[in-house]
Structure 1
Amino acid sequence: MLCIGDLPRAALPALASRFGFSVAFVTDGQPITGSFWGEPEAGIVGTTLYVRGDTPLHSALHELSHLVCMSAARRAALVRDAGGDDDEESAVCYLQILLANEIDGAGQERLMKDMNDWGYSFRLGTTERWFRDDAHDAAYWLQARGIVDKNNCLLWRLRND
């Protein structure tokens, strides 16, 4: 599994900053603030993403995608649980895959493999099949909110409704 410590230290903060978010690195062995799933999974509080070296990249990108997809009001009150409905959760999964291409050494294929290994569950089986053949509703959700364009290219905008 590709972890934050396997990447250049500036990679994730550079990506998060494109949306106006920050990344806080937690010292190895210390609890991760705002982690919903528990260590070593990423945490979120407000507009800050918390990670440490053993945090899987898929986890960090998933939580970052939650920050992007949620409304400003939800972000302002956020502590640990991103909430959202099933449609938003699908959009988050889709967006994290798109964001993987923005991290040198990661990419969509690697991220989807790690998502499968971690246990993400999609009705067609693998993450790859879902992304390719069954994620049209997730792509539309992101398009309708101006996060991606009609070609699913990132627009670097936040959902602020």
Structure 2
Amino acid sequence: MILLQDRNLSDITLVLDRYGLELVQLASATEIPGSYWGESEAGLIGNRLYVRLDTPLHSLLHEACHFICMDEARRTGLNKDAGGDYDEENAVCYLQIVLADYLPRFDRKQMWADMDAWGYTFRLGSARAWFEGDAQDTHEWLMAHGLIDREGRPTWRCRY
């Protein structure tokens, strides 16, 4: 599993900046504010994404995609629990896979492996099987909300 310490934070910041997200790096062993899962998992409060160097990259992208996929009203009061429904959670998972391709030395294949290793569950048995064979409705949801284009590329906008 790829951790933030294994990558250049400035590359990650460039992607997050496009969405108005601020990356806040914390010292080792510091409790992560806004973390839904605790331990080393990323935390989200407003537009601030809290991480440590031992935070998994998939966790950072997952929480970032919650921010991107929720509507503006929920983003305004965001503190730890992104909420949302089943379709939005699927959109978050899909978009984090898409965004993985925009980070140097990381891509969707690594994201699929890290998601599977962490324990994301998909009815087809793996993140890749779901993404390639069972996520057309999620692709359409992301397009309908202006978050990806027809080819599946990010529009670099948050849901309005």
Place the TM-score, normalised by the shorter chain, in its bin. over 0.9
Deviation at 1:72, TM superposition (A): 1.1
1:41 aligns with 2:46: no
Matches within 5 A, 1:48-59: 48-59=48-59
Hey, what does 1:10 align to over in structure 2? 10
- RMSD across aligned positions (CA): 0.6
SS of equivalent residue, structure 2 residue 154: coil
Deviation at 1:137, TM superposition (A): 1.1
Q: Distance in 2 between matches of 1:11 and 1:139?
A: 25
Q: Identity rate of aligned residues, in percent?
A: 46
Q: Aligned letter for 2:134?
A: D
Hey, what does 1:106 align to over in structure 2? 106
Q: Aligned letter for 1:155?
A: T
SS of equivalent residue, structure 2 residue 82: coil
Hey, what does 2:137 align to over in structure 1? 137
1:76 aligns with 2:80: no
SS of equivalent residue, structure 1 residue 2: coil
Hey, what does 1:61 align to over in structure 2? 61
Q: Deviations over 1:44-89 (max 9, x none)?
A: 0001111110000000000000000011110110000000000000
Q: Deviations over 1:78-121 (max 9, x none)?
A: 00000000000000000000010111011000011000000000
Hey, what does 2:91 align to over in structure 1? 91
Q: Distance in 2 between matches of 1:29 and 1:93?
A: 27
Matches within 5 A, 1:121-132: 121-132=121-132
Provide structure 1 residue ranges, at least 5 long, that are not aligned to the other structure: none
Give the TM-score normalised by the residue count of structure 2.
0.98
**Following superposition, which runs of at least 4 residues in structure 1 exceed 4 angstroms of deviation?**
none
Hey, what does 1:26 align to over in structure 2? 26
Q: Distance in 2 between matches of 1:71 and 1:47?
A: 13
Q: Distance in 2 between matches of 1:123 and 1:155?
A: 28
Provide structure 2 residue ranges, at least 5 long, that are not aligned to the other structure: none
Q: Aligned letter for 2:93?
A: C
SS of equivalent residue, structure 1 residue 10: helix
Tell me the number of residue pairs that the alignment of Structure 1 and Structure 2 aligns: 160
Deviation at 1:20, TM superposition (A): 1.2
Q: Aligned letter for 1:107?
A: D
1:156 aligns with 2:156: yes
